[in-house]
Structure 1
C-alpha cells in the first residue's frame, strides 16, 4: 500500500511541476495563486481518515488543528485558525478529537489543541497548546 501512496505523491508532484511550468511559459506570475488547488479561505472540517489524506495530498502546506468543543484553549485559538485559513496560502484542516479519536491518535494528539503542520504531504511540526498567530504564520511561511 505504501508504494501506491508514494506513486500517488509522485504523480501529484509531477502535475504541480507541469502546472508551474505552464504558468511560467504563459507569463503568469508565480506569486499569484494558482487557479486550481488554491487553499480554501475557511477551515476544512475533516470527516474521516481518507478525507484527511486527500487534504494533505492536495495542498502543499496544511495546518491540522486537533480540537474539542469543550476545550477553552481551542476556543481561544479558533479566531486565529480562521484567520490563517483566510489569509495564508496554507490549507487549514480541523479534526474534532471526540468525533475522530483514531485520527487524533494517529496525529499524536495527546492533548488539545494539538496542531500538526504538513508540508509536501509530510508532518514537519507538531505543537500542543494554544499558539500565537505570529508563530503559526512563521511556521507556515517557513514551509511554504
Structure 2
C-alpha cells in the first residue's frame, strides 16, 4: 500500500475507534444546545439521551440571554444532551412541566423529570446538578 492509502486506512480506523468509545461511554450528546422544534422532537430527545438538560427560555427574557452562554458551555463540557425550548413557541410543553417563569432548567433522566432550577444559574451549579443526576 502507498503512504496515502495507509493514512486513509488509519483515519478510518481512528474514526471507528472514536465511535466505539462514544458508544461505550454513552457520550453521544452533541457539543452544543439542540433547539427543540416541536413536541415530537422534544419527546424524541428524551427517549434518545439518558440525561437531558432543558433550558426553557423566551426571546424577550433578559435573564435567558444571560444564561445562554452558560448553557452553551455546559453543552460543550457535559455528557448530558442540552436542549433549548422556546416557551412561546411550545406553550403546551412548558405548561405540562409547570414552567411559570423563565429561565427554568429541568433535568430529565431516563425520560423522567429529575431536577428543576429557576433563574440564572452558575455553570458550576448546573454541572454539579448533572453529576448528581447522572
TM-score, shorter chain, exceeding 0.5 = yes
**Match among 18, 30, 33 for residue 22 of structure 2:** 33
Q: How many pairs does the alignment contain?
A: 114
Rounded Cα–Cα distance in structure 2 between residues aligned with 1:67 and 1:95: 6
Q: TM-score, normalized by length of structure 1?
A: 0.74
**Segments of 4+ moved more than 3 angstroms:** none
1:63 counterpart = 2:53: yes
Aligned residue among 101, 124, 133 for 2:114: 124
Contact in 2 for aligned 1:37/1:59 (Cα 8 Å): no
Match of 1:11 in 2: none
Computing the radius of gyration over CA atoms, which structure comes out larger, 1 or 2? 2
Deviation at 1:106, TM superposition (A): 1.1
In the alignment, structure 1 segments of 5+ residues that lack a partner are 1-27
Match of 1:139 in 2: 129
- Deviation digits for residues 84-109 of structure 1 (CA, Å, limit 9, x no counterpart): 11110000011101111111111211
Match of 1:84 among 46, 66, 74: 74
User: Once superposed, what is the RMSD of the aligned Cα atoms?
Assistant: 1.7
How much does 1:33 deviate? 3.0
1:113 Cα deviation after fit: 0.4
